[in-house]
Chains A and B, each alone.
Chain A
Amino acid sequence: EAGVTQSPTHLIKTRGQQATLRCSPISGHTSVYWYQQALGLGLQFLLWYDEGEERNRGNFPPRFSGRQFPNYSSELNVNALELEDSALYLCASSSPDRNTEAFFGQGTRLTVV
């Protein structure tokens, strides 16, 4: 069974540009979660999508946004990139059943120069 896949693996953008990161959940999973792992800040919860709706967001500015498509894949968009947005962005997915673990992808390394 394929795991959570994220693309691209690496992304280099210039300050002020927009970045789009993609995530495909495990087949049958309807929830997708996004996390940011910045140097020195650890893993921070960003967004949670379930059945196409945003369920919760972490303490991040509005320029961090995303969506979930009918096939449950998801995009994370970061507008007006800042140098401190450089981080590893992890996506995770979980099944519709309550209290099931989330499975993580390998991440997208975003570098803002």
Chain B
Amino acid sequence: AQRVTQPEKLLSVFKGAPVELKCNYSYSGSPELFWYVQYSRQRLQLLLRHISRESIKGFTADLNKGETSFHLKKPFAQEEDSAMYYCALSSATDSWGKLQFGAGTQVVVTP
């Protein structure tokens, strides 16, 4: 069975400090991995996907198949990064809209 685990419910960091959100998954096969973000009073939106190997808003995420992890990192947190972050997985044969989400990590960046 596929599963996505985000061990931290809450992550509190100071502005300018590095931030890392952990995500581990279990899946037999090659999944598609995503990070979604929900800012206060806004809708859930895609932040980045592993297949693109991109950096969005200073965030990067590396897929480590050996450790089955997809941690999200940013070297210098900003106050506007305060939000709820969800790691999500889609099967390689499914639509990217059919997602298995982790429980989410609330990030609070304090000045």
Contact = CB atoms under 8 A, between A and B. Distances in A.
A pairs with B: yes
Q: How large is the interface on B (under 10, 10 to 19, 20 to 34, 35 or more residues)?
A: 10 to 19
A86 interface: no
B97 A31 contact: yes
B43 A93 contact: no
The CB with the most chain A CB atoms within 10 A, among B94, B96, B97, is that of B97
B99 A102 contact: yes
A105 B96 contact: no
B96 A99 contact: yes
A33 B86 contact: no
A64 interface: no
Nearest to A56: B98
Interface in A83-113: 90, 92-94, 98-107
A21 B36 CA distance: 24
Contacts of A101: 46, 49, 96-97
B69 interface: no
A31 B95 CA distance: 9
Interface string B74-106: 000000000000100000001111111111100
B8 to A, nearest CB: 14
Interface of B: 32, 43-46, 49, 51, 86, 94-104
Interface of A: 3-4, 31, 33, 35, 42-45, 48, 50, 55-56, 90, 92-94, 98-107
A-B residue pairs, 7 tightest by C-beta:
A102-B97, A43-B101, A104-B44, A94-B97, A33-B97, A42-B103, A101-B46
